[in-house]
Structure 1
Amino acid sequence: MRSRHGTWLRPTGVNPEEAAELLLRDLHSSTRGLSSAEAQRRLVQYGRNELTRRGGPRRPAELARQFTHPLALLLWLAAALLLIVGSTAVAAAVVLIIVLNAAFAFAQEVQAERAVEALAQYLPQRAKVIRDGASVETDAAELVPGDIVVIEEGDRIAADVRLLAGAIEADMSALTGESAPALRSAAILDVDVPVLRAHDLVFSGTNCTGGEARGVVFATGMASELGRIAALSERVVQDVSPLERQVRRVAWLIAAVSVVLALAFIPVATFGGGLSVLQAAAFAAGLLAGMVPEGLLPVITLALAVAVRALATRGALVKRLSAVETLGSTDVICTDKTGTLTENRMRPVAVWTPADLIDLERPGPATPPVTGPAARAAGRIAAACNNARLKPGEEASGDPTEVAVLLAAQALGADTDVDGREAGRRWQFHFEPELKLMSTIDRHGQDLMVHTKGAPESVLPRCTGLLDEHGRRVALDEAARTRITARVDAFAAEGLRVLALAQRSLPGGERPPHRRADAEHDLCFVGLIAMLDPPRPEVAEAVEHCRTAGIRIIVITGDHPLTAAAVARRVGITGEHPRTVTGDELDRLHEHRIAELVRDEPEIIFARASPEAKLHIADALRDQGHVVAMTGDGVNDAPALHRADIGVAMGRSGTDVAREASTMVLTDDNFASIVEAVRAGRRVYDNVRKFITYIFAHATPEVSAFLVFAASGGAVPLPLTILQILAFDVAGETMPALALSREPAEPGLMNRPPRPRSEGIIRAPMLVRAWFFLGVLVTALAMAGFFYVLLRAGWHPGAPTGPGEPLHHAYQQATTMTFLGMMAGQIGTAFAVRTQTASLRSVGVLSNRYLLAAVAGELVLAAVFVYTPTFQELLGTAALPASTLALLLPCPFLVWGADELRRRLVRWHGEWRAGRGVR
């Protein structure tokens, strides 16, 4: 049973077989497994073997959130006012807008969530289980406590299991962070040890890298160790993303401005325009509805959803839509080395013995490069002290490092046959992370030999001898130790991983020692194997993009400091002399000193770093105002992934808990995918600003229509009806806004520095451009069309234009001209805001095919609104003659051309200031 402190308690004096029998009895199972009927009953009792989220479905809350956003609340207020003053039809139209916006935004959220679920299926699908006395395969989610499972090399373990027979090597890095396989055997019984240290237990989410065993399932789903840690990770509350925070600010800004204008309109219209209070309130509610950019939320949602889908095709799965924008403001990336910067594909490149340096990458036929005794001994040790498999015509299997060692043995001419190796092996001491050693005792001729491989710093202290060029053992003096250490450092400085090989002859007829301490001493050093995990070819270019974009990269790895520095130098992250901080040094540093290091050292590498160190580094960077992306793959990386602004988990090598804790999952484990995500985030942020500018620009003509009416004291009829404003906002404005969310990136997107975390999505130059430049242009054109039609019909200020009056039809044509004039100006605005300062030619006038389609659709809608009897009656529009319509043709070009000239002046002014050295 498990204690409160995470240890596995068993009565002392019980042997492994008795303990297994007791557990089977407690679980009401046997070595023949469960019957199918019993398994189904327990499935109902214990539930499916899956990690589940607490709290149940979240979609109702997400849907409710769409109806309670500040912009939606503002529209609810407008609808309520319209109902109070009796404008039922207009109120119904406003409510319809609220429902359509909420449905669209919710549909985008659900679609993105489904994409995440479809791409994040990493749990094992099948498991080998004994049912009804026979071995069958079943869905891993249907495992139940009491099931007898068969575990073989390459299997991913799907539940917590107590081994009953056999022994395996298990990759426990998912739970412990230790990448080296750990021995798990039914023959070893531990008492009062932590659960994860118990040698007879294996756990859900870990992998079998060698051996075969049978065991009984004792915990599944959320009751497993993996489930327990996953449940803990749900307690961390996610911060609101910068985009969500900014959109809320925009919403409240719009709400404040809208309410102030609407409230100010009532007394102006009542005393200046001669309207009744109810009429003024109705117009104020219409003004309020017109000021609210109904398309803002769905357009932002669509822009983010499009980016999420595009990134998924490039190997980056973003779990929250708003996180895309956060990626765009990232200014620090903390990345692992193995598998992210490198290919995680070890290959041997050199073997060094005291007699020679053997290059394993030289061109030519695959023949043994040397035949000296030291090289032959190195090859024999590499082949014997190994559990990888290398068969002709088949892909090598086993731990990547062991596969590389076996390939080195093959290149040295050693026999790598698996059957021969197993036949000669008498004992094995599995790799121990604490010792960084693995040893085997094998028969060599008539003698027994201890063969050892491991980290040089662990092997050398256990060596008292050295194999010289003649194959004789000589004393290992200090000069020889210094020479070996220098060679290790030289290999590591080239970015190579190094393992040392050693051996010892056992006296003839002596029983093989079964304790490590009795075997791994008085060893004879034989040589070194250097292996390369090559950098990914695309990483160097991605790093260069980060450099030009002002993004800092910090390497945090568990590797040797020199190896990490060499790889970082090779891909361009650092120069020749970066500051390297080891895990031991980092553990001794106070948090203030860590903060000083990450602030003051521009090129820094954290080597042999622990997951706790990642957390401290993330805290220090965030406290300094940086937006941090942090990579990780193990369960113990989850806190750092949660703490970072963007937690990036590995899709191939990562664990389920790491993926759950992360914001983004790299399905290809590739650093370049992070940079692509940053590029997409910047593009999305630019596009959000573009369509905010676009939407804000049309608030000016809408408000101006009411101001003209109020300022004239009612002498000038209202240039635009409330329903025409709503039709313009929803039908006419939304399609181009959606198209702007698909706008391609502007030139130089990755040449800008990251924007500060505190920078708002709306800035003063945007408002000036939208309200007082583009908005004023569109207002002037629309109002000119309105007065042109009225004056041409014989209207004069104060002349009646209501229903039944002679000028009523001319008034309807005039409001239609205002409506179409705003649409024409809107088309020009859409093309103008495609770039912020660059010329439109730099991105291509016709490059956004979605915008071209939106303009075509907008023209079709305009024709429907103006020329169909149903909409003429609903909106109060009237058909216009061709000669009048021809006046609208120059409007889009006037708006776009004026802004093109403005942008050219801005570029010229910037170049002038840069030439004079003015900041």
Structure 2
Amino acid sequence: MPRRPDSSASSVLRAGEAHHGLPVHEVVLLLGTDPDRGLAGDEAARRLDRFGPNTLPAAARGGPLLRALRQFHHPLIYILIAAGAVTAALGESVDSAVIFAVVLVNALVGFVQESKAEAALDSLRSMVRTTARVMRDGREHAVPSEDLVPGDLVLVEAGDKAPADVRLVRAVELRVDESALTGESVPVAKDEVLLDPLTPVADRRNTLHSGTLVTAGRGAGVAVATGAGTELGEIHRLVGAARVLTTPLTEKLARFSRVLTVVILVLAALTFAIGLARGQGASDTFTAAVALAVGAIPEGLPAVVTITLAIGVSRMARRRAVIRRLPAVETLGSTTVICSDKTGTLTENQMTVRAVRTPDGEFSVTGSGYAPDGEFRRGDGGTVSVAADRALYRCLLAGALCNDAVLTGGAAESGGEGRWSLTGDPTEGALLAAAAKGGLGPDVPAAFPRVGTVPFSSERRYMATVHRGGEADGHLLLVKGAVEQVVELCSAGMGADGAVRPLDRGAVLRAADELAGRGLRVLATAELPGAEPGGFGEGAPPDSMVFTGLQAMLDPPRAAAVDAVRACRTAGIGVKMITGDHAATATAVAGRIGLLTERREGEVLTGADLDALPAREYPDAVERARVFARVSPEQKLRLVEALQARGQVVAMTGDGVNDAPALRQANIGVAMGRGGTEVAKDAADMVLTDDDFATIEAAVEEGRGVFDNLVKFIVWVLPTSLGQGMLVLVAILFGATLPVLPTQILWINMTTAVALGLMLAFEPKEEGIMRRRPRDPGRPLLTTGLALRVLLVSALIVGGAWWLFTWERAEGASLAEARTAAVNLVVAVELFYLFSCRSLTRSMWSAGVFGNRWIIGGVLAQMAGQLAITYLPAMNGLFHTAPIDGEAWLRILGIALLASLAVAVDKRLRRQLV
């Protein structure tokens, strides 16, 4: 078993932390290695023992037993356990078994969900389990990445995944895709340049970060950090440190349960004290206190909450949103702010050419992504034939031939989905797709075989290729690259008719600036017919080439993103873009999706701006801003925490490794299922299977519906619990016989919760649900108006049942018959009240009596149950009931109708007051 790093090892790691700001020879010296031969084999073995394996450490977590016990740590569960124990003490073993079964089912669901959530850290550890190529003893070796140690000389080339944090000592045309780590939408060039020690992670050109992918070139470097010491390891630490927040629902239920616990205990104690004070026997008084406690406990609440959330999960799955934790269903309905990643979330994560400008004009390009579907249009909207415009054709030809990328896909190659995939640089993929839209398909390279290449480099900032098959004698030289460099190589420009005339370089540069101002990435193309193969290089004459045009591209917004952002803002939900990309790019995308309609001061902040903010100004600035660019993982996490500190319920969307800590910290983390990393999915509460931001809108709508239905159930169930408890208390105060027994109360609570209350979980969403403002996170489950309605219905149950029980006894009914009438009255009031609870504001008739067929089925089932408990001898013996006559039923229905009328009047008066 490898040891933990000792103090000397830690000092080497600390020295390596700012390696990007040190000359290469100093880094090599500090790590005691050789930049050409690497480490000796025996030294690598000693360092492996000293530093430990190159893996991410497993977080300390409790075992299965501890996780199982945690599921019972909740006030409402305490109440249920107490209810089960009391019921068992009363000898009602069946009822006690039912209560304990509810407790166990809830615990099992929580245990399974928590176990799934812990998979996030396991996925992070698996990301670095690759094979690394290293130099040891002067020879190249392939070793498991777990055996990599600080000081190893690591070799990488296109297609490799960086196995550790590596300071480069050599690099040849090296480009790396860091989008999963930094959010940068295009691969970044890497070299051995010396950087400022304060350079942020996203701009460290001289470092390969663990888990990133090499897309082009090759290089070698010294491993400066392994395992937990890497940037990936830091994200692992942040994910592990981020606490999994309770949701608004669980917080409110916990608060409600604590209050309910206190109320029940006080009332039970008061009942027992009053009974003793009145001289009643201790046994009878204790039975009354138990009846009050059992009556006041809503035994079915946890089960109904779980089932309601599970129904919400099923509905969301049909709308392409997969829920990993049940309470996340409701959290979306309470969300006040959505913090969205840009790349792959609001955008397609596929670079697309949107405009081409030649010396004679500009053309817009339709379509998005890498699919060859689109056309070229003039400024007036008319379609352009690419073959008819010589400059446009030659510009696209240069983009297609001076290119190392490969596009594959379409319906035949991707299971009928029509998705295209890219091997290579996204910028070059965009050029291939644009050429294909203009009729220059994959057969073009065969017509112009490549015979020479000058690869792109960060110094040259262009790529050049030489091809056979040019129309003039000799070969065709093509160049693409940064506008400033390519223009310097050109003395002429090509017109639409193919004529060559002198080039106005200033006009080209101004055009490029104007395109860049729209947030587009601009590349220039040029050609030289009749070139000599191999005769072009870095020292070639700069005024020999013909400029053919500019291609401007961007990672386009998703088609539905504009409507989704607008819908979220209409629903009162703030949307903020948080990305590791450049501020100009992020601002352009934000403008296109309607997130930035008018640019105001403070609406766009970079990571550097955030670091410069004084602590007292930070929360206000974060709440005011809408776009955050060049943001590190730590800053993303801090942004989420700052918004939560302001009382916001935060949903964080993302797809990369760099999003995982913020996804875990947010009230609800939303990961992309199709393009997201496994780390992001496992850290999230919800996964979008279509990667569409618009699906979040649908999920919010479902979440609001779920929360509404839960509140409706609570508003429906509380009057029964409170009414039954008060009914027992009134009997004690008057020294009278109990109108209902504990076993009868249990019958009412358990059967009505399942047959009646549970049907509210299937209630359709009310109209206008997405035109409401989000629920205030500090708002209690029950508003003052709803609490007063609960008290009104409770009073009606107490008064009606007490009057009916007294009336039946006065009319000569037996004690069992009078209690049976009281039991049926309580159920009848609940039944009529159920229809009223289908809407908390509209009347029963406007909400539609038959709008929820599940309620009709539940009512019929409950009626069958009441007839059984009233008239079946076996049920009479079990629950101490007796048959009642028709007149008693008429009195029951009359009181229930009066109670329903009173609720309708209450709703109408409140609507008029509002």
State the TM-score, normalized to the length of structure 1: 0.76
Matching of residue 732 in structure 1 with residue 758 in structure 2: no
Tell me, yes or no, if the aligned pair for 1:78 and 1:288 is still in contact at 8 Å: yes
Task: Report the Cα distance in structure 2 between the residues aligned to 1:228 and 1:576, rounded to whole angstroms.
Answer: 37
Pair 1:631 & 2:653 matched: yes
Q: Offset at 1:269? A: 1.4
2:117, 2:683 within 8 Å by CA — same for their partners in 1? no
- Determine if contact 2:654/2:670 at 8 Å carries over to the other structure: yes
Partner residue, 1:647: 669
Q: Give 1:179's match in structure 2, choosing from 178, 181, 185.
A: 185
Give the Cα separation in 2 of the matches to 1:627 and 1:168. Answer: 42
Which residue of 2 is the match for residue 287 of structure 1? 292
**C-alpha spacing 1:869/1:151, structure 2 compared with 1 (3 Å):** farther
What is the Cα deviation at residue 201 of structure 1?
Answer: 7.9
Alpha-carbon contact 1:550-1:752 (below 8 Å) kept:
yes
Q: Structure 1 pair 365/158, CA: closer, same or farther in 2 (3 Å)?
A: same
> Which residue number in structure 2 is paired with residue 311 of structure 1?
316
What secondary structure is seen at the aligned counterpart in 1 of 2:406? coil
Amino acid aligned to 2:731: F
CA distance in 1, matches of 2:876, 2:537: 98
Cα 1:236–1:730 change in 2 (3 A) is same
Specify the code of the residue in structure 1 equivalent to 2:493: D
**Following the alignment from structure 2 to structure 1, what is the Cα–Cα distance between the partners of residues 826 and 438?**
80
Within the candidate set 718, 742, 748, 2:738 is matched to 718
The answer to whether the aligner puts 1:665 opposite 2:669 as a matched pair is no
What is the CA-CA distance between 1:111 and the residue it aligns to?
A: 6.3
- The answer to whether the aligner puts 1:839 opposite 2:839 as a matched pair is no
Amino acid at match of 1:481: L
CA separation of 1:51/1:243 partners in 2, compared to 1, >3 Å: closer, same or farther?
farther
Evaluate the alpha carbon distance shift between residue 231 and residue 505 of structure 1 in structure 2; reply closer, same or farther with a 3 A threshold: farther
Q: CA deviation at 1:526?
A: 4.9
CA distance change for structure 1 residues 752 and 563 in 2, over 3 Å: closer, same or farther?
same
SS at match of 1:255: helix
Give the one of 451, 454, 461 matched to 1:424: 451
Contact 1:778 1:822 in 2 (8 A): yes
Distance in 2, Cα, partners of 1:282 & 1:845: 40
- Please say if 1:902 is aligned against 2:883: no
Residue type matched to 1:781 in 2?
G
Provide the rounded CA distance (Å) in 2 between the counterparts of 1:72 and 1:436: 69
**Residue type of the partner of 1:326?**
T
Equivalent residue, structure 1, for 2:107: 106
Give the match for residue 430 of structure 2. Answer: 404
**Residue aligning to 1:484:** 512
Contact 1:426/1:441, CA 8 A, preserved across alignment? yes
TM-score by length of structure 2 reads 0.77
SS in 2 for 1:429: coil
Q: Secondary structure at the match of 2:241?
A: coil
Q: CA deviation at 1:323?
A: 2.7
The 1:411/1:829 distance shift into structure 2, 3 A limit, reads: closer
Residues 221 and 522 (structure 1), Cα distance of their counterparts in 2 relative to 1, 3 Å cut: farther
Aligned equivalents of 1:313 and 1:21: distance in 2? Answer: 58
TM-aligned CA distance change 1:790 to 1:519, over 3 Å = farther
Question: Within 1, Cα distance between the matches of 2:157 and 2:312?
Answer: 41
**Residues 33-80 of structure 1: CA deviation (Å, up to 9, x unaligned):** xxxxxxxxxxxxx99x99996456765445424434213323445666
1:464-475 matches, cutoff 5 A: 465=490, 467-469=492-494
1:397 partner SS? strand
Instruction: Please state how far the C-alpha of 1:812 moved relative to its aligned partner.
Output: 0.6
Cα distance, 1:521–1:858 mapped onto 2, change above 3 Å: farther
Q: Partners in 2 of 1:703 and 1:558 — Cα distance?
A: 58
> In structure 1, how many angstroms separate the alpha carbons of the residues matched to 2:530 and 2:390?
23
Write the distance in 2 (CA, Å) between the matches of 1:220 and 1:824. 69
Describe the SS at the equivalent of 2:604: strand
Q: 2:264 aligns with which of 258, 268, 288?
A: 258
Change (3 A) 1:437 1:286: farther
Q: Quickly say closer, same or farther: Cα 1:848–1:238, change in 2 above 3 A.
A: same
CA distance in 2, matches of 1:788, 1:89: 31
Letter in 2 for 1:409: A
Shift of 1:818: 0.9
**Aligned residue number for residue 805 of structure 1:** none
Letter in 2 for 1:428: P
Distance 1:77 1:460 in 2: 79
Whether the 8 Å contact between 1:330 and 1:627 is mirrored in structure 2 is yes
Amino acid at match of 1:439: M
Opposite residue 89 of structure 1, the aligned amino acid is G
Number of aligned residue pairs: give it.
Answer: 838
Mapping 1:478-557, distance limit 5 Å: 478=506, 480-489=508-517, 491-492=518-519, 497-501=521-525, 526-531=548-553, 534-557=556-579
Indicate yes or no: 2:370 matched with 1:368: no
Query: 1:235–1:405: structure 2 CA closer, same or farther, 3 Å change rule?
Result: same
The separation in 2 between residues aligned to 1:848 and 1:221, in whole angstroms, is 56
Q: 1:761 to 1:60 in 2, by over 3 A?
A: farther
Shift of 1:120: 13
Residues 318-337 of structure 1: pairs in structure 2 closer than 5 A: 318-337=323-342
Q: Which amino acid aligns with 1:180?
A: V
Rounded Cα–Cα distance in structure 2 between residues aligned with 1:467 and 1:607: 39
Cα gap change, 1:599/1:64 in structure 2, threshold over 3 Å: closer, same or farther?
A: closer
Per the TM alignment, residue 770 of structure 1 is displaced from its structure 2 partner at its CA by 0.7
Query: C-alpha displacement at 1:251, in angstroms?
Result: 0.8
Give 1:803's aligned residue: none
Deviations 1:579-606, CA, capped at 9 Å, x for gaps:
55253773564155554444456xx434
Instruction: Provide the residue aligned with 1:757 in structure 2.
Output: 777
Aligned equivalent of 1:797: none
Corresponding residue number in structure 1 for 2:713: 691
1:131-158 residue CA offsets vs partner (Å, 9 max, x unmatched): xxxxxxxxxxx99879xxx9999x8969
Contact 1:425–1:441 under 8 Å retained in 2: yes
Per-residue CA deviations over 1:510-569 (Å, capped at 9, x if unaligned) read: 78769xxx8999997653213365544433433333233211222334566666555545
CA distance in 1, matches of 2:757, 2:643: 36
Q: Say yes or no: does 1:89 pair with 2:86.
A: no
Deviation (angstroms), 1:697: 0.5
Q: Classify the secondary structure of the residue corresponding to 1:339.
A: helix
Q: Is the 8 A contact 2:405 2:422 kept in 1?
A: no
- Does residue 398 of structure 2 align to residue 380 of structure 1? yes
1:778 to 770, 774, 797: 797
Range that drifts further, 442-451 or 476-485: 442-451
Change (3 A) 1:58 1:506: farther
> Could you tell me whether the CA contact under 8 Å between 2:403 and 2:428 is conserved in 1?
no
Q: Of 451, 454, 479, which residue of structure 2 is paired with 1:451?
A: 479
Does structure 2 conserve the Cα–Cα contact (< 8 Å) formed by 1:653 and 1:669?
Answer: yes
1:21 and 1:870, CA in 2 relative to 1: closer, same or farther beyond 3 A? farther
